[in-house]
A and B are shown apart, each in its own frame.
Chain A
Amino acid sequence: MIAQYIRVGSIDEGLKVLEEHRPWGRVLAGGTDLLPKTRTARHKRSLPLVLIDIKRIDELKGIQMKEGRLCIGPSTTMSQLAGSELVLEYAPVLSLAAGQVGSPEIRNRGTVGGNLGSKNTGADLLAPLAAMGALVEVRAPGGTSEIPVRDLLAAGWQGLGRSSLITEVRVPVNRQVTWGYRRWSRESMGRAYITALAGLEPRGDDRSCRFTAVLGGPGLWPRTFECQARPGELSGQEPMLELCSRAAAEIFAAAGGAGGDYQFQIGRVALAEALELAAGEVGQ
């Protein structure tokens, strides 16, 4: 049940109120992930949640370039992210990923911070941000830290929105890499069952490329595979599928099998489709 609603005006106030209401405090941003969860039978019966609304904290809003990095406020909605001219210029794959989340109604409320803090390993922004080497600034009562997104699972993910706040997402800009993103869901508007990123960075005069593959999904924290791809491996659908099958196999092996053969099969195909998108941009 939602026992209390508190609106805060600053990051410090938010952290103070979270601390005061431990363990029942939950950060409320867009609410598109949190509010449905409060309607499960377990929540209704036994958890007296205190929702702490951070939407009006100015420091958490906005998108800007700072020192060569795209800096995104966690209160940025998916619609704002998808439509941002800065994002389209410097990190278009984030716009592509954000624009596929849910529906326009969900995207008008759901936020970047909420997507990262949703405890859903298939969240649409996790794989692209991990692939791009993004960092999140996290503030907790004990201090501030900057954590690579790809390390977030082991480094405080569970505490996000309960004892700590994401205060900024920082994305290094590398215009040499072109990215393709594909998500696959078992139902319309559903959470992604697979999120697949493919990145190509031209290297050398022989038209070979540095190939980066990231796969994520339920039970599969986004994992990265990298290799040097020869032109022949990028020369058509069949060689790309073969390359992506190899990448997916290594990712799933490293993840201890994750969702099993079904998730692997979907993953390798989604990755190949993402690679076709990236290759189209590179002009391969």
Chain B
Amino acid sequence: MNVSILGSGLYPFGRHEGVGPIEMGVAAANDALSDAGLGWNDIQFACAGSLEVLQPDTMIKHMGLTGIPFTTLYNGCATGGNLLLTAANAITAGQADVAIAVGMDKHPRGAFSVGDTLESIGLGQWYGETGLALNPQYFAMKTMRYMHDHGISEDCLNRVSVKAFRNGSLNERAWRRKQISEEEIAGSPMVCDPLRKYHFCSPSEGAVAVVLCRADIAARYTTSPVRLRADVFRTRRYGSFETLTPSTPVRSVPGPSVEASREAFEAAGVGPEDIDVMQLQDTEAGHEIMHMAECGFCADGEQEALVRDGETAIEGLMPVNTDGGLLANGEPIGASGLRQVHEVCLQLRGRAGAHQVPGNPRTGFTHVYGFPGVSCVTILTSS
């Protein structure tokens, strides 16, 4: 792809009493523009995404109304990946040389509700009334089956959380900055077997913005662009086991994360072994484990030893979720995917501070996945 990232900005994820999502989006956008050395007047195409904000493009009354095309989109937990893709597509199509993608959200506390009526997600109201319309149940049941089939232990789940909160403690902009011991995680209340409180991320608040441009003109603006090598979006095929589904066929097929990853590696001309730092959707510890295999970084079951031996830690062979991931940052849905891109940019530019992967990482990977079976994968390189 002839697209580079010039700069990125983050309004830290967490809880911000009295600060609205639009305000966070504006702050992140200004942060990204200043990182890129550009002003709002230089932006020729914009897109923004959110679950809670109906019209994210209202943010531009705080930035300058310049008449540019501004697209808004929402695509579940894959919104961030889709935003980057939409901005990149505008550049590839020749619609703009410089574009911005902004994700923002501010969720109420507690588990995500599916809304007043299940018709909005194509299901009968009975499904919610009887207590089946909950994502945590799906995360738990997919994890339960995977542990059974591939010999993954509860210790492995606990170690993924230990690693996440350790990385969060090293990241001064993370939400959860306190290390939590394996014993405390193993003793935390059960939410949905086999997943406990500290295995789950929480809905949160925050915003991220990324400024992109045509790769062949990136040198005009910065000495450290990050090149977007692949950005692939996929939806489920029939037979993929997904959340909020009253039935699923016995004959199963790989999920959208598998297809998106495979195609991204092909497009970028690199393999999983070439990736120096990776951000994988860790809605809970079980899915970080499963996504390691779904994205092609190991075979099913190898996670047990990789996690035990610290290979997914910042100093390991395959550092996963170096900024603490969703577990330590929470999930403002619209912004979450772009947080991964922001973190990979920091890593590839050597600016991640205490959570910097040693040895000058050059190739990074981001992956989002969510309801109703959507996944977006990017591959980024330092030149």
> Do the two chains bind?
no
**A-binding residues in B (CB < 8 A):** none
